[in-house]
Amino acid sequence: MIAKTTNQKAWFFVLPVVLLVAFNAIIPLMTVVNYSVQETFGDNVFFWEGVGWFEQVLHSERFHDALLRQLAFSFIILAIEVPLGIAIALAMPRKGPWVSVCLVLMALPLLIPWNVVGAMWNIFALPDIGLLGKAINGLGIDYNFTRQPIAAWFTTVLMDVWHWTSLVVLLCYAGLCSIPDAYYQAAKIDGARGWAIFRYIQLPKLKRVLTIAILLRFMDSFMIYTEPFVLTGGGPGNATTFLSIDLVKIALGQFDLGPAAAMSLIYFLIVLLLCWIFYTLMMRGEEQ
C-alpha cells in the first residue's frame, strides 16, 4: 500500500466555490427555511412557529387548486410539445441550404425574452384588436381570454407551445442527426418502413435527448411565471394562477412570509421528487 499524502491546504482551492455556492444558494435557501418555521409581524421580530405553516399550506384548498392547475398545465404542454417537437424534427431537412434556415426559424422563439413573449401574445390575442383574437371571433367563436377561463388556458398553452416547442425540436434534431447512416441502410435492407424505422431506430436513439427535453420542459413549465403573469395575470379569477404566481401573490402581495416560505419549500421538494421519478423511469433498463 502506498500511503496517501494528506495536505489540508487543498481546502483553500475549494474555498472560492464554497463561498460562491453559499452566497447564491445555501444562504438564501436557509433564509427561506428560517422564515418557514417562524411568524413575524414586522419590525424584524420573529416567533417560533414549528411546522405550523407547512400544515396550513398542505391543508389549504388554494394550494391544492394551484398545484392541480400546475400539474394539468405541465401535462398538457408536455403532451403537445414532445410529439409535435419530434414530428417537426423528423420533417426537417438533414442536408442542404434549408438546414440553416430551419434552424434559425426554430431558434427564434427561444431568443425572445419571456416577458416580451407574454406581452406579444397578450396583444396578439386581444379579442378586439389582436390578430389572433379577432380572427377567432371572426370565425364566429366567442373568444375572450380575459374573461373566459377556457380561452385563457387555450391562449396560455398555445403561447407556451409557440415559445418552447423549438427546444424539443432542436434537441431531437441533434439526436436524429447523430444516428449513423448504417442504421437506415440496414433498416431498408431488413425491409423496415416508416413506422418501424421510427419505432425501432429513431425513437430508441432519441431516448437520451428526449429524457433531457422532457426534464427541461417539465421543470420550466412547472416553474412558469413571467409569461402567464404578463398575459393573464393569473386570471380570469384564479383560472391561470399557477404555483409560482400564487407564491408571489402570497409572499409579495400579502407579505405572508411564513406560509410563502413553507410553500416554496414544498414546491421545491415536489419538483425534486417529480424530476427524480421521471429520470428513474426513463433511464430504467439503461444499465445492464
Partner 1 sequence: MSEIVLKDLRHSYVPAPKDDADWALKQVDVRWSDGGAYALLGPSGCGKTTLLNIISGLLTPTEGQVFFGTRDVTHEPPEQRNIAQVFQFPVVYDTMTVYDNLAFPLRNRGVPAADVDAQVRQIAEMLDLEDGLFKRAAGLTADGKQKISLGRGLVRSDVNVIMFDEPLTVIDPHLKWQLRSKLKELHHEVGSTMIYVTHDQTEALTFADQVVVMYEGTVVQIGTPVELFERPKHTFVGHFIGSPGMNVLPCQLEGGVPQVGGQPVPLGNGPVEAPAGARLELGVRPEFVTFADEGLPVQVVKVSDAGRHSIVETRLAGNRVMLLVREGESLPSESARLSFDPAHTQVYADGWMIA
Give min distance, CB of 129 to partner 1, in A: 51
Query: Quick one: which segment of 47-55, 93-101, 143-151, 203-211 binds partner 1 (CB under 8 A)?
Result: 203-211
Q: What are the contacts of 248-254 at 24+ separation with CB within 8 A?
A: none
According to CB under 8 A, which one of 192, 219, 223, 239 is a site residue for partner 1? Answer: 192
By CB under 8 A, name the one of 110, 196, 252, 277 that touches partner 1. 196
Q: Which of 23, 174, 190, 276 binds partner 1 (CB under 8 A)?
A: 190
The answer to whether 76 and 252 are in contact (CB under 8 A) is no
Site for partner 1 in 213-252 (CB under 8 A): none
The residue among 108, 230, 223, 94 whose CA lies nearest residue 164 is 108
Report how many residues bind partner 1 under the rule CB under 8 A. 19
- Shortest reach from residue 198's CB to partner 1, in Å: 12
Residue 182 as a binder of partner 1 (CB under 8 A): the answer is yes
Burial of 277 (0-12, 13-18, 19+ CB in 10 A): exposed
Cell of 279: 429520470
Q: How far is Cα 199 from Cα 204, in angstroms, rounded to an integer? A: 7
Q: At what angle do helices 61-91 and 149-177 cross, to 10 degrees?
A: 40
Candidate residues 50, 93, 204, 237; the one interacting with partner 1 per rule CB under 8 A: 204
| Choices 63-71, 112-120, 191-199, 218-226; region in contact with partner 1 by CB under 8 A | 191-199
* Residues present in the chain in total: 288
| 223 in Cβ contact with 271 (< 8 Å) | yes
Interface with partner 1 includes 283 (CB under 8 A)?
no
**Shortest gap between Cβ of 205 and partner 1 (angstroms)?**
7
Q: Which residues bind partner 1 (CB under 8 A)?
A: 180, 182-183, 185-186, 188-193, 196, 200-201, 203-205, 285, 288
